[in-house]
Amino acid sequence: MGAVVGKGDSPRQFSIHETKLEAKMVEAMKRRAVKGSVMKSFNSLILKFRKIDESLRKCKAIFEQFDEDSNGAIDQEEMKKCFYKLEVSFTDEEISDLFVACDINEDMGIKFNEFIVLICLVYLLKDDSNDVHTKLHMEMPDLEATFETLIDAFVFLDKNKDGYVSKSEMVQAINETTTGERSSGRIAMKRFEEMDWDKNGMVNFKEFLFAFTRWIGIDDLEDEDED
């Protein structure tokens, strides 16, 4: 359903490969949705911002380790080496798809905020592999719990469990938090617009992750490094 909604309205040209990857994300999220969500409100996610922020920023050392030429971005070859070290098994096509999907700035390099999204997507897509979870835990302690929180938050927002978050679902989620407040609709629309970067009216997990890195200020960390 969601995989075809509004794609023609997107300002960015979507490739077949990215669409295939999106389909895999959606199916993986549907499987997770079967377990339900422990999150009770959007505010409960906001309260976790600081803890999640601290956990994700610890990935900086891992990112710098894989950024072999220290240019502030991971290219496809460095990404392949990253996956090899993490013992993540992907085909060359899947690696290319992930690279294109996470290189949101289209500058042929995965920056730190994009790296966080990449690793979280790997965690989601390899949900059936205990090996990758064990390796990620060894390399980045506490990260598994953080990724589980982010997945759980998306499941909470995705009320109809179709693997996407719509405007109406976002409004419903915000209304559950801010019952009776006149501004709740505006808040929901603002949050949705921040997530729906391709402006197609539906938000997938990747878009949610990119919005989340902005909400907690990961982009600000990159700005500080450039100054």
Return the pLDDT at 21. 86
What contacts 221, CB < 8 A, 6 or more positions away?
A: 57, 60, 112
Assign 20 a pLDDT band (cuts: 50, 70, 90): confident
Assign 219 a pLDDT band (cuts: 50, 70, 90): low
Q: Quick check: 13 pLDDT over 70?
A: no
Assign 182 a pLDDT band (cuts: 50, 70, 90): low
Mean pLDDT over 188-197 rounds to: 88
Q: Quick check: 139 pLDDT over 90?
A: no
pTM: 0.82
Q: Quick check: 183 pLDDT over 80?
A: no
What CATH number should be reported for the domain whose range is 20-216? 1.10.238.10
Residue 165 host element (H or E) = strand 165-166
Mean pLDDT over 182-203 rounds to: 84
Structural domain boundaries of the chain?
20-216
How far is the C-alpha of 148 from the C-alpha of 139, rounded, in Å? 17
